[in-house]
Amino acid sequence: MSDNFGFANTVDRASDDRTLTYLEAITEALFVEMDRDENVLVMGEDVGGEFGGAFKATKGLAAKFGDRRVINTPIAELSFTGMANGMALMGLRPVVEMQFADFISSAFDSIVQFAATSHYRGIGKVPWVIRAPSDGGIRSGPFHSQNPEAWFVHTPGLKVVAPSTPADAKGLLAAAIRDDNPVIYFEAKPLYRSIKGLVPGGGYVSEIGKAAIRRPGSDVTVIAYGTQVHTTLEAAHLVADDGIDVEVLDLRTLKPLDTSAILETATKTGKVIIVHAANRMVGVGAEVAALIAEEAFESLDAPIVRIGGLDTPVPFSPPLEDAYRPTAAKIEAAIRKLADY
């Protein structure tokens, strides 16, 4: 994928930039932020000790920072997230790992009822981060492949981020940890070891609420986030030979949405496709489409197209999962159709 996912366009390369995987970038953010701020701690199932979590994102943290700051919890998502609420109210900055994003539903009350409403109700600030390893395409079945972001983007009081590059994996996690609000950080499992990119060293932050153009173009805009940014770039590449110039906007933050970046690209190309792996119905793509249909209506030259997961649970079997998910081929077909409109 060209040009470090557009990262080079937006950030000065520090001299200590290194090429890291997406997963390494996450771990690095944890090391840096825990080092920087004693109030930062990590908790969740199996995150501690030598083990370092189901995906090893927290590996090495306990050795460096001790068990006090890297806490193994029992299987009790509702209450360990509730505990994070209380810790955060007292000034700590817990980073809670859900073993898979799928299990975030088990903590739902602690997130959407307590954390999301507490500042508004005058209870206090709840500066935690939930790390939620999400997305499928890796044959993990209906309970280890989910993309549940829409539930939380709908819920007032939360912030939601979804990095697509190693630089953002680090920068958005650091920003989420420093943010004074509850932030859900959807990390894309399929990207963990499949992509590498330059990552600035030290305490580096990607601003929450800012989308990024990953590929400038003039004919059709595709708006995506997470893994689908890469699928989209692939599709853009496939149509480029036929002279279709695709602009790819990576949302990066899902709540709050970068509405001006969305409206700007929609106005520029007049043709918009929105792609995400989560179920299309009442997904984040619906919000983006509705936003454009209300605020950039006059600039539209074609229907707004959404490509998302089907309205089924995520199926396990490879042919079914491929039918379920957005793929480069599906995006390519939609781009071609829209370019011809």
Partner whose binding site includes residue 8, from ligand TPP, its own copies, other proteins, none (CB under 5 to 8 Å by kind): none
> Taking CB under 8 A as the rule, does residue 245 contact other proteins?
no
Residue 55 beta carbon to ligand TPP: minimum distance, rounded to whole angstroms? 12
Residues in binding contact with its own copies, number by CB under 8 A: 48
Please report whether residue 323 would count as binding other proteins according to CB under 8 A. Answer: yes
Q: Does 79 contact ligand TPP by CB under 6 A?
A: no
Q: How far, in Å, are 211, 303, 329 from residue 253 at the CA level?
A: 7, 24, 26
Q: What secondary structure letter does DSSP report for 6? A: G
> CB-wise, 45 or 258, nearer to ligand TPP?
45
Separation of CA 324 from chain center: 20
Q: Which residues are catalytic?
A: 144
What does 318 interact with, of its own copies, other proteins, ligand TPP, none (CB < 5 to 8 A by kind)?
other proteins
Buried-state track 309-329, b at ≥16 Cβ within 10 A, e below 16:
beeeebbeeeeebeebbbbbe
Cβ(67)–Cβ(238) below 8 Å:
no
Specify whether the CB–CB gap between 125 and 181 falls below 8 A. Answer: yes
When the beta carbons of 44 and 166 are compared against other proteins, the nearer one is 44
In the region spanning residues 251 to 270, those forming contacts with its own copies, defined by CB under 8 A, are 255
State yes or no: residue 51 binds ligand TPP (CB under 6 A).
no
Applying CB under 6 A, among 14, 63, 75, 323 the residue interacting with ligand TPP is 75
User: How many whole angstroms separate alpha carbon 66 and alpha carbon 311?
Assistant: 44
Tell me the residue nearest to ligand TPP as measured from the CB.
103
The order of strands in the sheet holding 93-97 is: 70-72, 40-44, 93-97, 129-134, 183-188, 159-161, 253-255
Question: Does residue 211 touch its own copies according to CB under 8 A?
Answer: no
Among 63, 75, 281, 290, binds other proteins (CB under 8 A): 75
- The helix (run of H) or strand (run of E) holding residue 168 is helix 166-178
> Looking at beta carbons only, is 75 or 290 nearer to ligand TPP?
75
Taking the complex as a whole, the smallest distance from the CB of residue 95 to other proteins amounts, in Å, to 14
**How many angstroms separate the Cα of 119 from the Cα of each of 103, 148, 156, 202, 251?**
25, 23, 11, 31, 26
Phi, psi of 48 (to 5 degrees): -90, -170
Name which of 120 and 242 has its Cβ closer to its own copies: 120
The contact set with ligand TPP (CB under 6 A) reads: 45, 75, 77, 99, 103, 106
